Structure 1
Amino acid sequence: RTARRLRMAMVNLAFEGWLATVEASFVSAKIQEMHALNKKLEAELDVEWQKTAEAKAELEAATAASAMEKEAALERQRIELSGTLQERKALMEQEAKQAQLEQMRRQAVRRLVHAGLADGWGA
């Protein structure tokens, strides 16, 4: 009986040691999993911060462009309403140049489209 009791104690001790080892490996695996998830989330967060910075830069650029357009429109309006004859003439010439550039741009786009269609028909 005593030998049996001693053997059971040794078996229990061995089982408890094995159980502690298994639990430690599970905890270790869980910690590694959490570290991997943490790294992934940090990478995603960095990407989101970068997107936010890019959006902020775009917004600032758009705001600056809008302010410049507003200034130009106000200056044009000032010239139209109370400018000298020379200023009005210069403004009309500038508007004519802009209209001509816009027409040339439309023609270039139209030519590119037609060239693409011609290439398509010839293929």
Structure 2
Amino acid sequence: MKKQIALVDDSSPFCLLVKQIFEDRYEVTSYSTANEFLSILSRITCYDLILLDINMPGMDGLDALTKLKSNPDTQSIPVLLLTGDARKDTVLKGMRFGAKDYLTKPIDPFVLEQRVDALLSEVDTSSQEDLTI
């Protein structure tokens, strides 16, 4: 079964690009707003990784990250922040709120693949450790 990735980003062309990058290896489901994603996530929590844009209309990615990390059902899902805002304080805030990593836009598809693969392999490693305890 393919790993499940949630992509929360208000840019349709960007979502299409990410889906094309990973279509052979992972199942990517995109959401155009943080509110939409969080409302669906309240009913299902089957994602192995969340790619979360910081700058979105309505609820921004940092607010969504705070909600994800304060919920016991979603706090262990790794989050990779995506942002066009590479200011140090924004990125540091996201990392303090619980993001595992971040990428600035425009993204390099190769770098995105490397980061996603690394985060998903961490998930596999921690799952195997849970089985051996």
Question: What TM-score bracket applies, with the shorter chain setting the length?
Answer: under 0.3
Q: Going by fraction, where is strand more abundant, 1 or 2?
A: 2
More helix by share: 1
The TM-score normalised by the length of structure 2 is: 0.24
Higher RCO, Cα 8 Å, sep 6+: 2
TM-score, normalised to structure 1, is 0.26
